[in-house]
Each structure stands twice: as C-alpha cells, then as structure tokens.
Amino acid sequence: MSRPIDKTLPTYLSLEQAAQITEQSVKTIRRRIADGTLPAYRFGGRNIRIKLDDLEATARAIPTVGTWAKDR
C-alpha cells in the first residue's frame, strides 16, 4: 500500500518516474528539459530530478467542441 504524498515539501521525480506518469518516453522527457519546457534539477553528479509541480504545470487542457465553437 502506498502512502499519501506530503504536498508541503516539493516532490522530486526521476526521469523514469516522470515518463511513467505522463506516459511518455524518457527520451521525450529529456527533449522537453533540453528545449526548456520542463525545468529539471541536478542532485549530485548525475541525478536529474523533476519537481512534480513543474511536471503538472506543463499539462494543458484540450479544447472541447463547445469552447472551440465559441472562439470562432
């Protein structure tokens, strides 16, 4: 059983965890870091981590037909 995430402290994810959560490849996560759309942090020598909040902030809503029709 997993324990609840404490939202008072930032939660850092590995590239693999971020890829699994977003259902993307690790290569895509690395590309998003390289192009600046996803902030990442280095801990120690080679450990790259991504804040869960930053990962969630990159999501964008898909417009529905109702909102698309209003824009026209």
Amino acid at 64: T
Q: Please check whether residue 1 lies inside any domain of the structure.
A: no
What CATH number did the domain enclosing 40 receive?
A: 1.10.1660
pLDDT band at 68; cut points 50, 70, 90: low
Report the alpha-carbon distance of residue 15 to residue 50 in Å, rounded: 7
Q: Please check whether residue 3 lies inside any domain of the structure.
A: no
Q: Please check whether residue 4 lies inside any domain of the structure.
A: no
The torsion region of residue 44 among left (phi > 0), alpha (psi -120 to 50) and beta comes to left
CA-CA-CA-CA torsion sign (4, 9, 14, 16): positive
Q: How many domains does the chain have?
A: 1
Give the global pTM: 0.72
Q: Please check whether residue 59 lies inside any domain of the structure.
A: yes
CB 38 within 8 A of CB 29: yes
Task: Give me 29's structure tokens.
Answer: 């996560």
pLDDT band at 50; cut points 50, 70, 90: very high
Domain range for 24 is 12-71
Q: What is the pLDDT of residue 23?
A: 94
Over residues 18-26, the mean pLDDT reads 95
Q: Please check whether residue 5 lies inside any domain of the structure.
A: no
Q: Please check whether residue 2 lies inside any domain of the structure.
A: no
Q: What is the pLDDT of residue 6?
A: 60
Over residues 55-62, the mean pLDDT reads 90
